[in-house]
Every structure is written in structure tokens, then in C-alpha cells.
Amino acid sequence: MKLWCGFLFVLLMVFVSPGRGEENNREDRWGSIDKLQHFSSSFYLTVTAYYYLNKFDGVPPKDAGCYSAVLTLNMGLGKELYDKYWKKTFFSGKDFVADLLGVLFGLIFVKNFT
């Protein structure tokens, strides 16, 4: 399981690195409501997936945390790839960082309050 978490970390670093033009950076603000939506959605999905996996499927807590993180981050990555390739806008690294922070806070929440 540690191998998967390490692979996920490397994958995140590749996709979060800046790579688009300066004109798009001005449209993507850290303080926007969109970042709060990404954070809260990722937090909610991580906690829900963890709870379901651990309580209903009997997955051990450590594995449930890793599975829920991977699931949620894949959804966030998929959304950003959809934005870039189908909507023809851009891949927002800031949105993905907000997703990552939502997952991390979700995992901290389930570790401390379950």
C-alpha cells in the first residue's frame, strides 16, 4: 500500500506543476469560490468513501484511507483533464491543489474523529 501512496504523490507533483500561459493564470485566483468548492467536495468525498469502505466493506482503516484518497484525487484529476481536453479551457493546478488539501484534511478528520 505504501507503494501506491508514493506513486500517487509523484503523480500529483507532475500534474500540479505550472505549465500554462500567463494569460490563464490571471483567471485562476486562489481566493475564488471555485477553490472552496474543490476543497469541500474533496473533503466530503474522502470522508464518505473512507466511512463506506471501513464501516460497510470492512476494509482496514489504513487501506480505506489510501483507497478513498486515490478515488477522490482521480475524480479531481479527471475533472481537470475534462476541462483541458473537452471544454478546451485549461488544467488548473490551483484547483487540483485545493482537491489535494481537501483530501488531506478529510484524512486528518477521519483519523482524529472516527
What is the distance between the alpha carbons of residues 102 and 15, in angstroms, rounded to a whole number? 17
Residues 6+ apart with CB under 8 A from 80: 15, 91, 92, 95, 96
Instruction: Reply yes or no on whether the pLDDT at 31 is more than 60.
Output: yes
C-alpha cell at 71: 478515488
Cβ–Cβ under 8 Å, residues 51 and 110: yes
C-alpha cell at 105: 484534511
C-alpha cell at 78: 479527471
Cβ–Cβ under 8 Å, residues 103 and 69: yes
Q: What is the DSSP letter of 1?
A: -
| Whole-number pLDDT of residue 24 | 46
Q: pLDDT tens digits, residue range 74-111?
A: 998 888 888 888 877 777 778 889 999 999 999 999 99
The average confidence (pLDDT) of the chain is: 79
